[in-house]
Amino acid sequence: MKIKDMLNFYNRTNVKYSADGNTDLEIDGYSSIYQYKDGTVSWLRKASTLDDPKFKMPDIFTCVITKDGMPRIPNVKCQIWVDNPKDAFFDILEEFWGEKNEAVISPQAIVESGAVIGENVSIGPFTYISSQTVIGDGTRIGSNVTIKGKVTIGKECVIQSGAVIGEDGFAFIKEDSAQKFVKHYGGVTLEDYVSIGAQTCVCRGAIEDTLIKEYAKIDNLCHIAHNVVIGKRTIVVCLTAVMGSVHIGDDCWIATSMIRDQCYVGDGCVVGMGAVVVKDVPDNTTVAGNPAMPFERREKI
């Protein structure tokens, strides 16, 4: 492909850009700015990167996508300016080099009779889908996934390999000298455009459903316990443990952390890496530490 093919793609997708240089040059692939390969397209977040001691300036750049207003790079054959270079770069990768995932249900998947599967759904090998599952259009489910019990999954969701959705939560009551398990009767609801990472577990609710709202993204290796509610567009980073009946609001960022059962985390909150949340967090609050407390940025001494 040529650089002008990339620009034609921007024209079709209404990406505003300006370009300077030879747009007839061939592009053979992509590379990072720190390990740039001749003949590829790369992107640059800020001009100061070029002065970074860890950065070794190549003899020539074929094509670099940069932010509007950034100066011309002296040794670039073609420079493209856009409002958001990262998005513009990865859109190019997706368009020209991305995997084209066809909607295929693997013959090695187990889909029980009664399951409702929408259109253009992909299900990988060795995945189990229970009879009570409902899956919306365009959802992609990886391999070795277990979806058990009453699980409703919206449209255009992504469930990565090894995830477990709908198993019982951890609930026991002491009875004489033994621990009696409390059976769960709820399910799991994932609204539209939710992403569940590899090896993540989402437990079913005890009575009401565990609920993950639209556009929420759960990273790999997370534990989402029974009766949890996670709000719209909230991000939960890998190795986070969210205990039973926690309510997390909309537009939160939950770094690798632990949130005690029954806690409420309001809208627009940030939970810092390594935090242990043991009490409610008000809206638009950043907490960090163990136990987690409101965090204020301080100047370095």
Q: Which residues are known to be catalytic?
A: 226
166: its two tokens: 């709908």
Q: What angle do CA 107, 108, 110 make, to 5 degrees?
A: 95
Cα 58 from Cα 291, distance rounded (Å):
48
Cα 107 from Cα 122, distance rounded (Å):
11
> Is-contact 266 287, C-beta < 8 A?
no
* Burial grade of 9 (CB within 10 A; 0-12, 13-18, 19 or more): middle
Peptide bond just before 125 cis, omega within 30 deg: no
Residue 141's SS3 state is strand
> Is-contact 111 118, C-beta < 8 A?
no
Cα 242 from Cα 203, distance rounded (Å):
11
Instruction: Say how many residues make up the chain.
Output: 301
Exposure on the CB side of residue 51, measured as CA atoms within 13 A: 3
